[in-house]
Structures are given as C-alpha cells and as structure tokens.
A and B are shown apart, each in its own frame.
Chain A
C-alpha cells in the first residue's frame, strides 16, 4: 500500500515537473517579448559638464523613458516603451576621461548586456567609443557630441548620431551675423583650447571668410578649458575693435565670460555670438546682456517648433523637474525617440515580433523621424548621421525675463555639407550646395 502511494506520489511529482517545464517552454516567447529593453545612457553626472549638460540630458532620458513606459506620449510615439516592450535605463557617468569610458562601455555591453547604448557629450569620448561600438557590435547612438570627424573620417554599421555636428552650428552662426550686420569688417573669437573650441572656431572663421571676403580676423583667443578668468582676453577683445565675437564656450566658462564681459562693456562694444549659449539663459536670466546672439545647437528650447510633441516634452519635463528643458535634454529625447522610431519600423517589418539588432539598424539607416525639436533626417554618413535645421536669435529683456527675438531659421540643406564631403572642404569651397 505504502509502495503504491509512493509510486503514485512519484508519478504525480514527475507529471507536475513535466507540466511545469512544458508550461515554461510554452510561455517563454511571451516572457522574452516582455523582457525590458535595456538601454545604457552615458552622460556627465559629475564634473563641470554635469550641471549645464549632463544632468539635463539625464533628466531628459528619465522623463522620456517614464512617459513612454506609461504609454502617455503622443503620436507617433504612443506605443508603450519601444513597440509595446518597456525600456529600462542604466545611467553611467561620462566623467573621468576616455580610458574610463572605454571600460564603462565594455561593462555596459559585455557585463550588463545592454541592448543598446545612447550617450556621450564629449567629442573625445565619441572618437574613442566609435571603433569600440563596431568591435563589440552593439547598437550605439551618440546624442550630443559635435565633432564632424566621426562619420567624415570613417563609416560605421552599429553607430548612429541623432544630433547635428558642430559644423551646422557655426555655418548657421556665420549666416546669421552676416545677415544681421552686413557691414561687419572685423571678427574675433574666444573658444576653449581643445577639439570642440578649435573645430568650432575653424568652421566659423572659414565660413566668415567665404561669406565676407576680406573680413579681418583680429584675434582668436584660446584659453584653457575651465580657465574661469578671462580678464586679459576681454581686454584684448575690447581693444581689437571686433564687430563680432564668436564663442563656443559652454557651461561655467560661458557663464564666467558673460559675468566678466558684461560689466566691462564687451557685449555692448561687439556683437557676441554664443553658439552653445542657450543653457546660460536658463541659469543667468537677465544677466545675459541684451543683443547677445544665442544658439541652442539646433532647433531646441525657444527655437523648437510649436508641435504637440514639443508641448508634450516640455510639459512632462517641467512637471517633473520644475525647470524648462535646455538643449541637452531635447537632444537626449531626440535620440531615444529616434531609436524608438527605428525599433517600431523594424518591428512592423518583422510581423510585429521583437526585431533583431540588425533589423533595427537597417530600419534606422536613412530614417526620418519627428522629435520635439522638429524633423530629423539620418542623411549623412551613409544614413547614420542626422541633419537638422538650426536657428539663432538675439536676447532681449522683457518684464524681468530674458527672451530671444529676431529668430532666423536655417534649413538643414543650407548649413550641411552633402554626404561624403568633409565639412571644412565644403565650407572653404564656398558652401557650394548651399541653397
């Protein structure tokens, strides 16, 4: 009897196990389908670039991920997460230099099995990560770094960039000031002494020489990054008699230039163009002198179009952080929405099933998608590099608040070299494709 009971129990146990295994096998595809898409997001969370760039970008990623997962985003991004699958973000600090970033990227891909990586503000980090993304064969999207060298010097399969290059910032700036001050004769620059500052100045200088042949470049100041004090530079700019002063300063350096230059009359004596100046408006308000030409590295913040997508993003961001999103937040949102658009396009082509990385990449190439800053075309770098229009305006103080007026927009085709042509050659050849 006992033996029969034991046998029955054994049979029951085996049956239960088999059923459990069968059930698990049957539900496995569903589990895989619901497994969140893991995205490594790399941005500055410490150091000097964290406040003006890294944290707004991080916040942008957080608020977009939350609203996407809650299914509260407007068309064409109404589906939950990416194509119905929730997304999960793992933040990584970009501070610490390229060697650290290479290790962090390896950790994200090889240890943490991130499905994709979105990030990088520093051009130096982008140059270091680009070949690694190819080596590790993981979909990687640069959202902010500006160096045009990434897709002009090489081509990549796994790498995309959803933000425009610095060339577009500076050609647009040159077009704006020549339209604003047609009689300008003297131009000066103050830029940080590293790749970003040097590339920005070179593009602006070359563009000015094309647009205003015979323009006198009176001085090019290149203080060290984070120098903080610009007394001698401001004296030099004041004595140079420049009609226009170009600066790609960002963060604390941009704020320090304004705080030190404004009381000494630099912004009255010359028209100062700050290509990455938009975050300083959020931080300094009316301390930014009237008449300063401000750019946002694209059609972001005050330059963003009046669309449902922009209204949704601004409201979600302001509700969450009680502050307006600055351009790094916009660019991060643009990157995530770009990947979402590619993912869902690939999913649709895959009969609604979760697409493979190769399918997402194929869908991403040459994609056009909408973002809070407007339409983005992945038109350069064999379909991997975005082009987007840009805009500039001048500051004006109204009722104790700083606003930007005289906004002029520049179509992407007017400020962007054709695919396969290097930016510096294109500018020096006279904007040949400019329309």
Chain B
C-alpha cells in the first residue's frame, strides 16, 4: 500500500515537472506550428539565471524565503529577454516555411544558446540548493517528501488552470484560438497575428525557463542539461497530441506515473517504459491522445 502511494506521489511530482516544460512547447506548436528545438536551451537558461540569482541572494545574506521569488523572476527575465530576441530577430523571417525548416532553425538556436551558456557560465556546475530544503518536509506514511516538491505540483496546477482560463475565458485567449484555427483568416479579420506570435513565443520561453528555474534547486546546473529534457518533453507531446493543452497534461501524467511505477517495481525497464507507452499510444492514435480533428483543406 505504501508502495502504491509513493508510486503515485513520485509520479505526480515528476509529472508536474514534465508538464511545466511540455506546456510551453505545446503552446508554441499549437499557435505557431513550430517544434521548438531550442526549448531545452531556454530551460537550461532559466536554470542558470536562477542559480546565479539565488547564489547572489544568499551571498548577500538576504531573507532566505525571498529566494523562492527569484525562481519566478529568473523565468520572467529569460522570457522577456530571450523570447522577443529569438522571435523578432529570427523566427519572424521564417514564418510560412516548411515545418522541417523551422525545426532546423530552432535547432540552430539551440546550438547557439548552448554555446552562449558556455561562454557566460563556463562548463563548471552551479547549484542553487538552498530553496529546496528551505520549506522542510512532510511525511506520507514512513516516507519523507519535501514541501518544495509539493510546491512544484501546485505551480504546475496553477500554470494549467491559468492557461486554460486565459484561452477559454478571455478575449486575448479567444483571439489566440482563432489564430490557432486559421492564421490567414484571423489576419484577414484584423487580428494582429505577428503580435500574437510574439506574445506566444515569449510566454512559451517563460514556461521553459520556469521549468529550469524550478528544477535548479534540486539538481546541479550543468552544461547539456537542456538536451535531456527536450527528449522527454517531446515524448509527452507525442503521447498527448502536438499542440494540445489537455494532451500535455495527460501525457505528463502518463509518463510520470509509468516511470515512477517502473522505478519502484521494475527498475531495469525504467527508460524503456516511457517509450513503450509512447509507441502503444502511437499505434492506437498516431497523432496522440488529444490530437484535434483536422478539417481537410482543398
């Protein structure tokens, strides 16, 4: 029984992390039809900025609880700086091109950002461990969990609820949905599509950086940390359906729970289990669980 509960808790914590990363990818693909390969680097950038800010905060001897706010600030900074630079400086010249070309373009951004990170932070690891243990632990049965991990789950839920609310209940969200449905008609109806793209890419960047910033206190911030995460984020995307918000949530939950169960009961197949689920989903629904029905265009 304890095992089952810990499988669920570990799975939900991991799912939350996956969701925060995958939802940014989903948003960008849903609106802009860009499979953003640079997402991993933006995640890493968030982690590096967070580690730098947290390190400076504690070196200055300021209130430790303030460091939690710095994680959000790091995501905001990366979002508003890197997002517009990439979108305005590069991607806008590529709109309308084949999706494969855009993958190559974002892959080149990924490589550039990896080198930028090395130039700025070097190859040494950084850690921002202080916030992780700051809030203490809680016990489930005999198993201790950190409150920080619970916070991660809360943030993931808040991100999901906020995005759903904005998309379905606000004017801006409805404009966004219109652009998702048909870019050309939206433009013809007077929607500033370029602005929608800029805002979407900035928010997507912010979410990638938020994932990195929130994970920074749990890990050692090292070069190439973005490479691993992009593979997992794509697995979540593929399972849930590209560009689908509920799909990203369900994909994250499936991957998180399957991985957790494998680690607890059959650790030898932990890595294989994720891709087995992905393969099974693709056999049944080749475009993912929540892929939208597409009208045939003549």
A residues whose Cβ falls under 8 Å from a Cβ of B = 45-48, 50-52, 54-55, 193, 219-224, 226-229, 231-233, 235-236, 238-239, 251-253, 255-256, 259-260, 262-265, 283-284, 287
Contacts and interface: CB of A to CB of B under 8 A. Distances in A.
From B3, B124, B125, B228, residue with most partner A Cβ within 10 Å: B125
A233 B124 CA distance: 26
Interface size class, chain B: 35 or more
29 contacts: A48-B224, A51-B122, A51-B125, A52-B125, A54-B123, A221-B267, A222-B268, A224-B271, A229-B14, A229-B219, A231-B149, A232-B7, A232-B11, A232-B14, A232-B259, A232-B260, A232-B263, A235-B9, A235-B143, A236-B267, A238-B143, A238-B144, A251-B222, A256-B218, A259-B127, A259-B132, A259-B217, A259-B219, A263-B132
Contact of A235 (B6, B137, B271): B6
Nearest to A224: B271
Interface in B106-120: 118
B113 to A, nearest CB: 14
Contacts of A224: 228, 270-271
A264 B218 contact: no
Contacts of A265: 137, 144
B124 A55 contact: yes
Given A227-B228, A251-B125, A239 B263 contact: no
A252 B221 CA distance: 7
Contacts of A193: 270-271
A51 B123 CA distance: 5
Nearest to A95: B224
B234 to A, nearest CB: 15
Contact of A229 (B123, B127, B215): B215
Contact of B264 (A54, A232, A252): A232
B2 interface: yes
Nearest to A189: B267
Contacts of B13: 231
Contacts of A256: 218-220
A287 B144 contact: no
Interface of B is mostly: helix
Contacts of A251: 125, 220, 222
From A228, A232, A259, residue with most partner B Cβ within 10 Å: A232
Given A229-B219, A238-B143, 19 more contacts: A47-B123, A48-B225, A52-B125, A55-B124, A193-B270, A219-B267, A222-B267, A226-B224, A226-B227, A228-B225, A232-B11, A235-B10, A236-B264, A251-B220, A252-B222, A255-B125, A255-B220, A256-B220, A262-B133
A384 to B, nearest CB: 31
B223 interface: yes
A239 B146 contact: no
Contacts of B144: 238, 264-265
Contact of A264 (B146, B228, B270): B146
A233 B259 CA distance: 10
Given A193-B271, A223-B270, A231 B143 contact: no
B220 A252 contact: yes
B142 interface: yes
Contacts of B260: 232
Given A46-B118, A265-B144, A239 B2 contact: yes
Interface string B120-160: 00111101010011000100001111100100000000000
A328 to B, nearest CB: 13
Nearest to A260: B218
B17 interface: yes
A239 B219 contact: no
B267 A220 contact: yes
A228 B222 CA distance: 10
Contact of B223 (A48, A220, A232): A48
Contacts of B145: 264
A255 B11 CA distance: 22
A71 B216 CA distance: 45
Contacts of B125: 51-52, 251-252, 255, 283
Given A224-B271, A229-B219, A235-B6, A284 B224 contact: no
Nearest to A283: B125
A235 B267 contact: no
Given A228-B219, A251-B220, A265-B144, A45 B123 contact: yes
Contact of A46 (B11, B132, B217, B223): B223
B217 to A, nearest CB: 8
B264 A229 contact: no
A282 to B, nearest CB: 11
Interface in B141-188: 142-146, 149
A263 B133 contact: yes
Contact of B123 (A50, A231, A253, A283): A50
